[in-house]
């Protein structure tokens, strides 16, 4: 009998060959976290770091660009412009390279070094915004630049293709892989993931609870001159949410490390915030299946020293970097 | 007595303090107590008709009150109430 590397699982699975890297986006693994799950409850992790550029943003980058091509808003010769703290920019850079568009990203100057390096190597033009203004600052600058006709701005915060990519992709995959899901936890940024996945899950079973993990950002980011400068993303449909928790840097870093130490899953810092909330929700349940959406892998955060031996040093380093 | 963490924008009403104490069994009572101690402080938190401002998030301990009982959310002595402006996140 010749030795073979083709397993039974492989023979039965859907083909994994693609004509183009863009076709390899999505269909990410849902893996159990048995060591962290309390008795009676199963916690699952949807590993979005398995997408081609290593984050869930590949899904919306492809969806927003293809929607703009279909509507005629994005035509050859125009440059894509987007405010982003990293992952969306990197995902758009991949899509732009593949399709032949230029890309300009406005990114806070305290984004992790790896994110800026990745954007550079994909050939994106980078405009830095003041880190102390967070993503709000990037949005302000991008809006000013967008008045120039050569730019097309997908604007992930207001683009319906963002939640739609999650409703038709991420949410659909979860329903297929875990029809018994009872709770879904994801990070709140643009609101696209929670809105899209939430809508799909509620259609599947109105009893599924949809829960947001929101980062507690630095004091300066909250230092608005007026509440009129506040921002709620237009695509965020708050009606799909059942609960929302604020998570600080220390809890996020601790959970991120625990994920690696106890489950062998290497994920980004926001995934720690999501897991922190997932564990809390799970602790209140007698039975249930809790899905935590882990937005990216840990690679882009190595320079933050989040896994440094001393926890306090790790927390301090991460708090000085834009990790959300 | 609960501890109320204030965002930068409200600290001028409380002599620059980052956090102050207030009493109340619900968030509504607690905000009323806060207003009596520091007049004007809740003007930006509540709308003219007394609802929570769209661009303000209030948390009792770590949970957003919009998904609990809003202004009727119960507050226990020793709880921490955080008031934060809504800002853009995401990547």
What ipTM did this prediction achieve?
Answer: 0.91
The pLDDT, as a whole number, for residue A302 is 84
The token pair at B35 is 């207003």
Cβ of A246 and B91 within 8 Å?
no
pLDDT digits (tens, 9 = 90+) for A34-85: 999 999 999 999 999 999 999 999 999 999 999 999 999 999 999 999 998 7
Identify residues of B whose CB sits under 8 angstroms from chain A CBs: 7-9, 44, 53-57, 59, 62-64, 66-67, 82, 84-91
Mean pLDDT in chain A? 90
Cβ of B55 and A57 within 8 Å?
no
The model's pTM is 0.91
Instruction: For residues B57 and B83, give the distance between their C-alpha atoms in angstroms, rounded to a whole number.
Output: 6
Considering only CB atoms, which chain B residues are within 8 Å of A214?
A: 57, 64, 89
Beta bridge pairs of residue B46: B52
pLDDT digits (tens, 9 = 90+) for B1-47: 999 999 888 899 999 999 999 999 999 999 999 999 999 999 889 99
- Catalytic status, residue A99: no
- Catalytic status, residue A270: yes
The pLDDT, as a whole number, for residue A35 is 98
Closest CA to A256 of A199, A184, A317: A317
Cβ of B86 and A84 within 8 Å?
no
User: Active site residue: A55, A112, A252, A270, which one?
Assistant: A270
Q: Which of A230, A241, A245 sits opposite B87 (nearest CB)?
A: A230
Stretches in chain A below the pLDDT threshold 50: 1
User: Active site residue: A37, A46, A57, A85, which one?
Assistant: A57
- Edge to edge, the sheet with strand A79-83 lists A125-129, A102-108, A79-83, A151-152
Q: How many CB pairs under 8 A join A and B?
A: 107
A37 three-class SS: coil
The pLDDT, as a whole number, for residue A225 is 53
Alpha helices, DSSP H, located in A150-214: 161-165, 171-177, 192-204
Cβ-proximal residues to A15 (8 Å cutoff; 6+ apart), any chain? none
């Amino acid at each position: 009998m010749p030795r073979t590397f083709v397993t039974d699982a492989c023979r039965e699975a859907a083909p994994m060959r693609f004509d183009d890297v863009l076709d390899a986006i999505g269909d990410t693994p849902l893996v159990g976290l048995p060591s962290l799950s309390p008795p009676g409850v199963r916690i699952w992790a949807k590993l979005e770091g398995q997408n081609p550029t290593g984050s869930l943003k590949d899904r919306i980058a492809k969806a927003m660009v293809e929607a703009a091509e279909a509507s005629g808003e994005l035509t050859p010769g125009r440059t894509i412009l987007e405010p982003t703290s990293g992952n969306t920019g990197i995902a758009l850079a991949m899509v732009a390279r593949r399709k032949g568009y230029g890309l300009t990203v406005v990114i806070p100057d305290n984004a992790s070094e790896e994110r800026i390096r990745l954007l550079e190597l994909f050939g994106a033009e980078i405009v830095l915004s003041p880190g102390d203004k967070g993503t709000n600052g990037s949005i302000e600058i991008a809006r000013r630049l967008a008045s120039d006709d050569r730019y097309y701005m997908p604007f992930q915060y207001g683009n319906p293709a963002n939640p739609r990519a999650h409703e038709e992709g991420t949410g659909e995959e979860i329903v297929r892989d875990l029809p018994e899901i009872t709770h879904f936890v994801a990070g709140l940024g643009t609101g696209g993931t929670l809105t899209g996945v939430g809508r799909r899950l509620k259609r599947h079973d109105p009893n599924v609870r949809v829960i947001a993990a929101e980062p507690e950002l630095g004091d300066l980011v909250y230092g608005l001159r007026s509440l009129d400068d506040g921002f709620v993303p237009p695509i965020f449909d708050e009606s799909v949410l059942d609960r929302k928790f604020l998570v600080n840097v220390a809890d996020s870093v601790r959970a991120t490390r625990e994920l690696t130490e106890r489950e062998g899953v290497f994920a980004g810092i926001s995934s720690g915030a999501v897991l922190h909330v997932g564990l809390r929700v799970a602790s209140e349940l007698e039975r249930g299946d809790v899905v935590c959406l882990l937005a990216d892998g840990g690679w882009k955060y190595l320079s933050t020293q989040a896994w440094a031996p001393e926890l306090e040093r790790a927390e301090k380093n991460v708090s000085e970097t834009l990790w959300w | 007595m609960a501890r109320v963490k204030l965002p930068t924008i409200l600290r001028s009403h409380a002599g620059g303090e980052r956090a102050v104490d207030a009493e109340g069994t619900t968030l509504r009572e607690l905000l009323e107590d806060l207003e009596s101690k520091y007049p004007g402080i809740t003007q930006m938190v509540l709308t003219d008709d007394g609802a929570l401002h769209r661009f303000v998030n209030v948390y009792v301990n770590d949970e957003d009150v919009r998904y609990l009982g809003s202004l009727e959310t119960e507050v226990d002595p020793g709880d921490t109430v955080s008031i934060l402006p809504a800002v853009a996140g995401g990547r």
